[in-house]
Structure 1
Amino acid sequence: MKVVAFNGSARKNGNTAILVETALRVLQEEGIETEHVQLAGMHLKGCAACYRCLKDKGRCHQEDDGLNAFIEKMTSAQGVILASPVYFADVTANMKALMERAGMVSRAAGDLLRRKVGAAVVAVRRGGAVHTFDSLNHFFSIGQMITVGSIYWNLGRGLQPGDVKNDEEGIRTMQVLGENLAWVLKQLHGPSAPSD
């Protein structure tokens, strides 16, 4: 089993990364392989609405920014975490581009993400966290994915890089999120898991 996490923050190894790594550590302790993809420094393009993905099943025709490799990572994993800091009460531009294109390619190819496990993670300074959380969860919902939560909405508070470590509830929320993700994945993909 594998979980791939996509971190939409413009800051590499910032608060969003700390939250993601907290959840991933728990998954690793549960014997689940993980990968953390940080989108910092990348310039992903949004969907061009060309609908060529309807012909090129499983691929976006925009080949020059590496997003097709991310779609492949999503489709080969059993679990997907989408993480973003709050930018003007929503996800970052890179995360939005990833969601648009991965979502469209998945749907065009017969719902590639169907019944995969998804979890949203949000880093917030003050406001806009719930809207950002909703945006991420809408991606999972339209993709027919199984969404996992925690003891609170999956968010942590902090402004400067590292501040989120001081949010005890946020860190605990990420730990429980990792536990819940591991439990669901084992129910779905363990030795006695139901078949499709």
Structure 2
Amino acid sequence: MGAGKSSIGRRLGLRLGLPFVDADTEIETAAGMAIAEIFERFGEAHFRDGERRVIARLIDGTPKVIATGGGAFMNDDTRALILARTHAVWLNADVATLVDRVRRRGNRPLLAGRDPGLVLAELAAVRNPVYALAQIEVVSRPGPHHEMVDSIIAALAAANTPIDPETCTGGDTA
């Protein structure tokens, strides 16, 4: 949450010449309601089950950039699918950076009525060791989006993915 998955993912897709898909948007479309409403009406477990199914549908072998929600990688089945069939990129940001970013956007179900710094620190303590299983880690710092995109493309190239940094084209990227 706040690492830049959607905003950076969209720009990465453009640079790579690949379609960009935001899994949260796809979940909302499939459910016919906002994620906040899904959480409120059915709970997080129901949301995560739908999230898993949508991500499995998105990872269809067609090259694209997929932004997944922050909790998606925490689901064992979803994570196994992502690791087996994509190039998983963890945008690792420190808690202070995340807090600054999430304050700009108010519709975060996991932050509803809670202190963002405390919640994000708790989430980082639990999630970061799991996120570290991603094949690629890129530090998400404040700054221009194009710098993050450049860092991701360089990391993909260094990891010997089928991304050609000269032409910026390549295969599945989540």
Question: Shorter-normalised TM-score: what interval?
Answer: 0.3 to 0.5
TM-score (norm 2): 0.48
Whose strand proportion is higher, 1 or 2? Answer: 1
Whose helix proportion is higher, 1 or 2? Answer: 2
Larger RCO: 1 or 2 (CA < 8 Å, sep 6+):
2
